[in-house]
Amino acid sequence: MAKTKELSKDTRNKIVDLHQVGKTESAIGKQLGLKKSTVGAIIRKWKTYKTTDNLPRSGAPRKISPRGVKMITRTVSKNPRTTRGDLVNDLQRAGTKVTKPTISNTLRRQGLKSCSARRVPLLKPVHVQARLKFAREHLDDPDEDWENVIWSDETKIELFGKNSTRRVWRTKNAELHPKNTIPTVKHGGGNIMLWGCFSAKGPGRLIRVKERMNGAMYREILSENLLPSARALKMKRGWVFQHDNDPKHTARATKEWLRKKHFKVLEWPSQSPDLNPIDNLWRESVLPSDSPKTSLL
């Protein structure tokens, strides 16, 4: 039998209000578009318990005792990488036999859900201090300052990922349907390198790098594309350029070139790709990629 939709609290209260002014169950049902039996059940519940709220429902006792719940919650809080199998074994040694789904359901009720661990840059203490210094220095910067920044970065796009993993909903024996598969090619599918930039006003130029990039090529890309992007975006006077601490970006020749062009450069802490909002723009692109970034193509 299909599960019926539960009435809202407002509807249940309305049934009681109409009953109190003398309406019959049939009349209430017609007015609210409900079955007479449904209306009668709500009225009887109100007469018995003086409430229309849901009452506690009986059910099978929990497999894991409150003490066991505290134990496994404490375990995963100390070590989030603990597996369900580890917790099953811990409880079994304590005299409680449960399954992995029971572990999942119990932890979910405690507000804990199994998720893929996020990949983040490996930070040394010096990187942590530099990032903290950067955050404190810019904590109170007005929005107008950030709107005057051109953000830039390079990214590599894998045309066919080697380690692509995606979940699909499918029926039994439909695993080879084209909609349920991910195409692969031998020895990888090749890749392309891109340089791009953007500001709060929109995307700037997107350039494909056809050869291995070095400092001279990077300066050539900036020479041909950075200022035209700033003009197209109608950046205000004194706009700021951002790039990370890649050796090509921090080379003496590059710094000198930027100085001669009178470009203001945003001081950037090392190991901080996750601070650059262009990473979000790569992910919002049309062309999907198995790498953390995607392109603007």
pLDDT confidence of residue 293: 40
- Over the stretch 93-134, which tens digit does the pLDDT of each residue have? 989 999 999 999 999 898 888 887 777 778 889 999 999 999
Reference 86, options 69, 111, 103, 70; nearest CA is 103
pLDDT confidence of residue 297: 36
| Residue 220: alpha-carbon gap to chain centroid | 36
Q: Which residues pair with 191 in a beta bridge?
A: 158
pLDDT confidence band for 287 (50 / 70 / 90): very low
pLDDT confidence of residue 289: 41
- Over the stretch 216-254, which tens digit does the pLDDT of each residue have? 999 999 999 999 999 999 999 999 999 999 999 999 999
- The DSSP H or E segment spanning 240 is strand 240-242
pLDDT confidence band for 3 (50 / 70 / 90): low
pLDDT confidence band for 54 (50 / 70 / 90): confident
Give the orientation angle of helix 252-260 with respect to helix 215-232, to 10 degrees: 30
3-state secondary structure 205-228: EEEEECCCCCHHHHHHHHHHHHHH
CATH topology of domain 126-160+189-286: Nucleotidyltransferase; domain 5 (3.30.420)
pLDDT confidence of residue 290: 40
SS3 21: coil
CA distance 251 to 204: 24
Q: Are strands 191-199 and 202-209 parallel, antiparallel or unpaired?
A: antiparallel
> Which residues have C-beta within 8 Å of that of residue 14, sequence separation ≥ 6?
32
Between the two ends of the chain, the Cα-to-Cα distance in Å is: 50
Contacts 24+ apart (CB under 8 A), 184-190: 184/160, 185/160, 188/158, 188/160, 188/162, 189/158, 189/159, 189/160, 189/161, 190/158, 190/159, 190/160
Please compute the mean of the pLDDT values over residues 80-98 and round it to a whole number.
91
pLDDT confidence of residue 56: 72
- The DSSP H or E segment spanning 193 is strand 191-199
Amino acid letter, residue 63: K
pLDDT confidence of residue 288: 44
Q: What is the side-by-side strand order in the sheet with 264-265?
A: 202-209, 191-199, 149-158, 240-242, 264-265
- The DSSP H or E segment spanning 192 is strand 191-199
CA distance 213 to 156: 12
pLDDT confidence of residue 269: 92
Amino acid letter, residue 229: S
- Over the stretch 142-161, which tens digit does the pLDDT of each residue have? 999 999 999 999 988 776 65
Question: Does the predicted model carry a pTM greater than 0.85?
Answer: no
Domain boundaries, the chain: 9-49, 66-110, 126-160+189-286
